[in-house]
Chain A
Amino acid sequence: MSDTTVIVGAGQAGLQTAVSLRQGGYAGRLLLLGSEAHLPYQRPPLSKQVLKGEFDADRCTLRGADFLAAQEIEFRPHSRAEALLSDQQQLRLADGQLLSYDALVIASGARLNRLHLPGSELDGVFYLRTIDDALTLRERLQAQPQVLIAGAGYIGLEVAASARALGCKVRVVEAQQQLMQRSALPAIADFMRARHEQEGVAFHFGRKLAAIHGQRQVQRVGLDDGTELDAELVVKGIGVRPDLRWLEGSGLATARGILVDDQCRTNLANVYAAGDCAETQHPLYSEPVLLESVQNAVSQGKTCAAAILGQDTSYSDVPWFWSEQFDCRIQLAGLPQPQDELVVRSDAPNSMTVLALGADRLHAIQCINAPRDYMAARKIIALGDAIDRDRLRNPKTELKELL
């Protein structure tokens, strides 16, 4: 068994790896490196409960200092990995320190896509990734500024809903023609667009920000078609990507993310990756998948721990995600495939279920305020059994009956 396991990144994936290693009886030294000042925390509430003032920062902490100490997990905040020296099985930190490892887990997450525009340096231009970002933004939203959000993805839309709840005027500028273009099926996207519009959010589709204007503070935003919009606060929600720069020259195989197999193993001996930074050869899919979700982070953390402990393991979970916007809980499970038949069902007000049917089995469900459908479909997808398409198409069939 390994003597020292170093985990880069103290988010959900990194923390889960550490917790699961101890649960599995790992007796070696365990170092958990966090790049921020904070104890491991969860990000999903940042754009929702934290912005709205319902959660304070402590409420997001996943595990306290007492827990980490009791589990003999050496948590080091402010620790950023700078280089992987795999020949020596060492990691170099930003402060120059060298750490030797017997097993290394890279769970360094993703970094924000930045939008470099004239005026980006003005006061009132925000990103939202960390808890510090969320607390600063929350303070600014209290004054009910006119908010302009770049990007109608999950973060952009959750911020839009939170800002509306706080009484701000909200506009969203989106380069595509649809909300949540990358992951939501059109019926779900259209439903949510209507909900946002009912709540007073204004959309500008097919447009990009060209410049941000103001003296010291943001005052106006110019779009690429020449439109000028008043705005006192700009939030850029244009996605994230794995942070791979520090791994250049290390010999680690990467594509969009760090390439791993179904045991979270990379091409390098004793080096594993998990969570937002890992691009996974997933048994359910022919192409490697890059999943940015809590479920993926937690499941891969468990997989890494099992692999390090030498247990037989294979990560094959059906991916699932959720979002909350206004009174809508959006839940997604599985990944729709291009040729899928889409079945839209809706049997209650303010609710919708969309099923993505493959030739012989259910590939995905996306639903709004339909937890019963969601839980049943998740199980059907995981079982992978042949489906009766006619029964699935029939809105009278409860999905539970198909289990």
Chain B
Amino acid sequence: MIKLKVTDRDGQKHEIEAQEGDTLMEALREHDWGVSAICGGMCSCGTCHVYLNEEDGGKFPPVDIDEEDLVDMLEFTRESSRLSCQLTLSAEHNGVSLELAPEE
């Protein structure tokens, strides 16, 4: 079990537990304030969009071309945007903090 700090769309802060080997999207989907992740992790819809700070973002593999193409087209894209379905969690992600992007 690892712990993550999440700021939801209303600015509320939550500390959640997640399973190593799951994607970040799967950990976030479990909460009523979480992401809807309509396509289930296929990098197809952009409904699991999050913002990671630079330091924590560096703990995940870089954005690949599919994710970049999709993120580029979203409404609320920032430098720190990621699709949480593309981020697999491991022990080194304990303590990562992130913010949910507004729903499209």
Contact with B along A120-161 (1 / 0, CB 8 A): 000000000000000000000000000000000000000000
| Inter-chain contacts of B69 with A (CB < 8 A) | 371-372, 375
Determine if A71 and B36 form an interchain contact, defined as CB atoms under 8 angstroms apart: no
> Is the CB–CB distance between B38 and A67 below 8 Å?
no
The distance in angstroms between the C-alpha atoms of A22 and B31, with both chains bound, is: 12
A70, A298, A372, A375 — which one has the most chain B CB atoms within 10 A of its CB?
Answer: A375
Measured between beta carbons, the chain B residues less than 8 angstroms from A67 are 30-32
Indicate with 1 or 0, residue by residue over B11-42, a CB within 8 angstroms of chain A CB atoms. 00000000000000010011110001011101
Main secondary structure of the interface of A (DSSP, over half): helix
Any chain B CB within 8 A of the CB of A392? no
Q: Which residue of A lies closest to B41 (CB)?
A: A45
Complex Cα distance, B45 from A23, in Å, reads 22
**Contact A295–B38 (Cβ < 8 Å):** yes
CB distance from A396 to the nearest CB of B (A): 18
Q: B39 near A376 (CB under 8 angstroms)? A: no
A64 → chain B closest CB, angstroms? 6
> Are B30 and A375 in contact (CB-based, < 8 A)?
no
Please report the C-alpha to C-alpha distance between residue A294 and residue B30 in the assembled complex, in whole angstroms: 18
Q: In whole angstroms, what is the CA distance A181 to B29 when docked?
A: 34
Question: With A19-B32, A22-B32, A23-B32 known to touch, is A322 a contact of B42 (CB < 8 Å)?
Answer: yes
What residues of chain A lie closer than 8 Å to B31, measured between beta carbons? 67
Using Cβ atoms and an 8 Å threshold, which residues of chain A touch B40? 42, 44-45, 294
Pair A375/B39 contact, Cβ less than 8 Å:
no
CB distance from B96 to the nearest CB of A (A): 21
Nearest residue in B to A294 (C-beta to C-beta)? Answer: B38
Min CB distance B40 to A, Å, is 5
- Do A324 and B32 touch (CB < 8 A)? no
Quote the shortest CB–CB distance from A214 to chain B (angstroms): 36
Tell me the complex Cα distance, A23–B34, Å: 11
A71 touches B39 (CB 8 A): no
When each residue 319-331 of chain A gets 1 if its CB lies under 8 Å from chain B and 0 otherwise, what string results?
0101010000101
Q: Is A63 part of the binding interface, using a Cβ–Cβ cutoff of 8 Å?
A: yes
- Decide if A372 touches B29 in the complex (CB within 8 Å): no
Chain B's nearest CB lies how many Å from the CB of A55? 9
Q: Are A322 and B44 in contact (CB under 8 A)?
A: yes
Give the total of B residues in contact with A, Cβ under 8 Å. Answer: 20
Of all chain A residues, the one with the shortest Cβ separation from B26 is A59
Asked if A329 meets B42 with Cβ closer than 8 Å, knowing A372-B69, A400-B73, the reply is yes
| A83 interface residue (CB < 8 Å to B) | no
B43 at interface by CB-CB < 8 Å: yes
Write the nearest CB–CB distance from B33 to chain A, whole angstroms: 9
Interface assignment of B54: CB less than 8 Å from any CB of chain A: no
- Report if A298-B30 is in contact (Cβ < 8 Å); known contacts: A372-B72, A375-B46: no
Answer whether A63 and B42 are a contact pair too, CB < 8 Å, given A298-B36, A371-B69, A372-B73: no
B70 within 8 Å of A (CB atoms): yes
Q: Does B66 contact A (CB under 8 A)?
A: yes
User: Which residues of the other chain, B, contact A44 by a CB distance below 8 angstroms?
Assistant: 39-40, 42
Interface residues of A in 147-184 (CB under 8 A from B): none
Q: Which 3 pairs across A and B sit closest by C-beta, in order of nearness? A: A375-B73, A371-B69, A372-B69
Q: Which residues of A contact B (CB under 8 A)?
A: 19, 22-23, 42, 44-45, 59, 62-64, 66-67, 70-71, 294-295, 298, 320, 322, 324, 329, 331, 371-372, 375-376, 379, 400
- Interface set of B (CB-CB < 8 Å, partner A): 26, 29-32, 36, 38-40, 42-46, 66, 69-70, 72-74
Q: List 28 A-B contacts (CB under 8 A).
A: A23-B32, A44-B39, A44-B42, A63-B29, A63-B30, A67-B30, A71-B32, A294-B38, A294-B40, A295-B45, A298-B36, A298-B38, A320-B45, A322-B42, A322-B44, A329-B42, A329-B44, A329-B66, A331-B44, A371-B44, A371-B69, A371-B73, A372-B72, A375-B46, A375-B70, A375-B73, A375-B74, A376-B73
